[in-house]
């Protein structure tokens, strides 16, 4: 027997951006396929014509690309598969596994209201379901039929969920759901089933809001004589505050993380660890993740998003990142703020190099870089506090040395120390006033490194302003 090739899919509906929950679902589906040398398929579920937009499709594609989740097939678009859906519906009608229902929306609404009043689970009552010896109501005028799936009424539908364990539904809980609307367009549960079948999906990894759809889909698959894939339902991700994420509350695009200064590998590592674990491992590459990933170490309960931990990972990955890459990020972000890195100024790469240990975020790094290019505003408070006569005298002494220094780190360092000796001051007594003079604030990277990156001309210019 040839081993089954794993085929997973990510099937978002393009009604908005790719948010963090969708991204994790995509990541796990992708990782599972990669782990077993299988195929990862991207499918756009755009049958909700009213809410789907091309912008949302692009946003999803952009999000996937930013995260580096590459697909092997697709994107497939359900709207382009209508002929296939119609053919299957005709086939089911002919086979008797589906039937036409002429109940109007008003009648349905009334039925549901009645059921709810009786505290029952609202559901279709099967009035148009054909049965042996049953007289169907007369077909009404002016009502276009919907097509309903003839769901089994007895027995139990179950599956071994790879994250939640065995789940069973009594078929009596399931009603005959609509597979084609009155206008003929197919509905979600039906399209998913036909697509998963046609695309040979072996493992369906998706959010656990689909648990209740699963028995219906399994029954449909059975009616079609199709194999039933393995299911794995991922729990949801809650916001930082423990509240459910929604459009109104906390759900943001993955691209927002780019805007907010996060590195994709930090987001990926964080997401991987949210709801999945490999012993005590916290920090790992995607290559390592793919090697380790499995479904039975996925947590069955919901997880709360923790920005603090993401920040920590981001800081970690910034420290690891190449200076050149960070320099490029700085330039890109500076450009978005409206200015270019000057050719004759400090190098963005060098700025990144001496500051990447101090920041947890690319925007914070960019803020620092900006200070190297923009003449600082020095508050009176800082002037009074740090630019005393003694401090100025020390800075003047230092300026004299810097004017003739060879602009190398070691010599800059030596110059500062020489000034300390000459003035009898301690390092902070010179370094802090110098920071105030150069940046208008008391913190920076090691001051000798700052000088080496800022350059002689700019350094002396800034010092002159306060002396």
Partner RNA sequence: GACCCUAUCGUCUAGAGGCCUAGGACAAUACCCUUUCACGGUAUGAACCCGGGUUCGAAUCCCGGUGGGGUCGCCA
378 binds RNA (CB under 7 A): no
314 binds RNA (CB under 7 A): no
- Nearer CB in complex with RNA: 238/252: 238
Residue span 352-371 as binding mask against RNA, x where in contact by CB under 7 A, dash where not: -----xxx------------
- Nearer CB in complex with RNA: 91/170: 170
113 binds RNA (CB under 7 A): no
119 binds RNA (CB under 7 A): yes
Question: Which of the stretches 177-185, 257-265, 383-391, 399-407 binds RNA when contact is defined by CB under 7 A?
Answer: 177-185
Of these, 61, 136, 182, 226, which contacts RNA (CB under 7 A)? 182
323 binds RNA (CB under 7 A): no
- Nearer CB in complex with RNA: 343/439: 439
Of these, 81, 127, 181, 383, which contacts RNA (CB under 7 A)? 181
198 binds RNA (CB under 7 A): no
391 binds RNA (CB under 7 A): no
Of these, 312, 323, 363, 460, which contacts RNA (CB under 7 A)? 312
Question: Which of the stretches 65-73, 222-230, 274-282, 322-330 binds RNA when contact is defined by CB under 7 A?
Answer: 274-282
Pick from 221, 201, 196, 286: which is nearest to 5 by CA? 201
Min dist CB 443 to RNA, Å, is 3
Min dist CB 343 to RNA, Å, is 27
Number of residues in contact with RNA under rule CB under 7 A: 86
Positions 26 through 85 that interact with RNA (CB under 7 A) = 45-48, 51
86 binds RNA (CB under 7 A): no
- Nearer CB in complex with RNA: 301/384: 301
Min dist CB 104 to RNA, Å, is 5
19 binds RNA (CB under 7 A): no
Min dist CB 281 to RNA, Å, is 8
Of these, 224, 228, 252, 302, which contacts RNA (CB under 7 A)? 302
| 106 phi/psi in degrees, rounded to 5 | -60, -45
Is 324 within 8 Å of 349 (Cβ atoms)? yes
Of these, 306, 379, 388, 408, which contacts RNA (CB under 7 A)? 306
What is the 3-class SS of the chain, one letter each residue? CCCCCCEEEECCCCCCCCEHHHHHHHHHHHHHHHHCCCEEEEEECCCCCCCCCHHHHHHHHHHHHHHCCCCCEEEEEHHHHHHHHHHHHHHHHHHCCEEEECCCHHHHHHHHHHHHHCCCCCCCCCCCCCCCCCCCCCCCCCCCCEEEECCCCCCEEEEEECCCEEEEEEHHHCCCCEEECCCCCECHHHHHHHHHHHCCCCEEEEEHHHHHHHHHHHHHHHHCCCCCCEEEEECCEECCCCCECECCCECCEHHHHHHCCCCHHHHHHHHHHCCECCCCCCCCCHHHHHHHCCHHHECCCCEECCHHHHHHHHHHHHHHCCHHHHHHHHHHHHHHCCCCCCCCCCCHHHHHHHHHHHCCCHHHHHHHHHHHHCCCCCCHHHHHHHCCHHHHHHHHHHHHHHHHCCCCHHHHHHHHHHHHHHHCCCHHHHHHHHHHHHHCCCCCCCHHHHHHHHCHHHHHHHHHHHC
- Nearer CB in complex with RNA: 328/442: 442
Of these, 199, 226, 236, 290, which contacts RNA (CB under 7 A)? 236
- What gap in Å lies between CA 300 and CA 275, rounded to an integer? 8
CB under 8 Å to 318, separation ≥6 — which residues?
A: 263, 266, 326, 356, 359, 360, 361, 362, 365
- Nearer CB in complex with RNA: 252/414: 414
- Nearer CB in complex with RNA: 5/172: 172
Of these, 87, 110, 113, 300, which contacts RNA (CB under 7 A)? 300
432 binds RNA (CB under 7 A): yes
Of these, 55, 114, 198, 209, which contacts RNA (CB under 7 A)? 209
249 binds RNA (CB under 7 A): no
- Nearer CB in complex with RNA: 316/456: 316
């Amino acid at each position: 027997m040839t081993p089954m090739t794993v085929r997973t899919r990510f099937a978002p509906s393009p009604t908005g951006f790719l948010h963090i929950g969708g991204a994790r679902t995509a990541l796990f589906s992708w990782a599972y396929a990669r782990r077993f040398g299988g195929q990862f398929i991207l499918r756009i579920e755009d049958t909700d014509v009213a809410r789907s937009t091309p912008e949302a499709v692009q946003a999803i594609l952009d999000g996937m690309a930013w995260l580096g989740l590459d697909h092997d097939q697709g994107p497939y678009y359900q709207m382009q598969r209508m002929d296939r859906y119609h053919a299957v519906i005709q086939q089911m009608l002919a086979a008797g596994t589906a039937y036409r229902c002429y109940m109007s929306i008003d009648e349905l609404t009334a039925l549901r209201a009645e059921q709810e009043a009786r505290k029952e689970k609202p559901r279709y009552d099967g009035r148009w379901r054909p049965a042996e010896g049953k007289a169907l109501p007369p077909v009404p005028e002016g009502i276009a039929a919907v097509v309903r799936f003839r769901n089994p009424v007895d027995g139990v539908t179950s599956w071994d969920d790879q994250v939640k364990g065995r789940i069973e539904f009594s078929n009596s809980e399931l009603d005959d759901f609509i597979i084609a609307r009155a206008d003929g367009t197919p509905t979600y549960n039906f399209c998913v089933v036909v697509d998963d079948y046609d695309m040979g999906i072996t493992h369906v990894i998706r959010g656990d809001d689909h648990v209740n759809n699963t028995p219906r889909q399994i029954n449909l698959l059975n009616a079609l004589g199709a194999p039933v894939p393995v299911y794995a339902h991922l729990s949801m991700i809650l916001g930082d505050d423990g509240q459910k994420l929604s459009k109104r509350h906390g759900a943001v695009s993955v691209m927002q993380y780019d805007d907010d200064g996060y590195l994709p590998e930090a987001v990926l590592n964080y997401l991987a660890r949210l709801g999945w674990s490999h012993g005590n491992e916290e920090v790992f590459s995607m290559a390592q993740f793919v090697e380790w990933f499995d479904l039975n170490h996925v947590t069955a309960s919901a997880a709360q998003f923790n920005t603090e931990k993401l920040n920590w990972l981001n800081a970690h990955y910034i420290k690891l990142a190449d200076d050149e890459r960070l320099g490029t990020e700085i330039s890109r972000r500076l450009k978005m703020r409206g200015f270019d890195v000057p050719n004759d100024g400090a190098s963005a790469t060098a700025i990144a190099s001496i500051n990447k240990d101090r920041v947890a975020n690319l925007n914070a790094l960019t803020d620092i870089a900006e200070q190297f290019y923009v003449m600082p505003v020095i508050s009176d408070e800082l002037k009074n506090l740090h630019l005393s006569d003694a401090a100025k005298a020390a800075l003047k002494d230092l300026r004299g040395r810097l004017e003739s220094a060879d602009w190398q780190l070691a010599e800059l360092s030596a110059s500062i120390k020489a000034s300390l000796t000459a003035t009898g001051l301690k390092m902070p007594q010179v370094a802090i006033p110098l920071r105030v003079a150069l940046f208008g604030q008391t913190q920076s990277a090691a001051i000798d490194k700052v000088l080496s990156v800022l350059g002689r001309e700019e350094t002396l210019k800034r010092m002159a302003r306060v002396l």
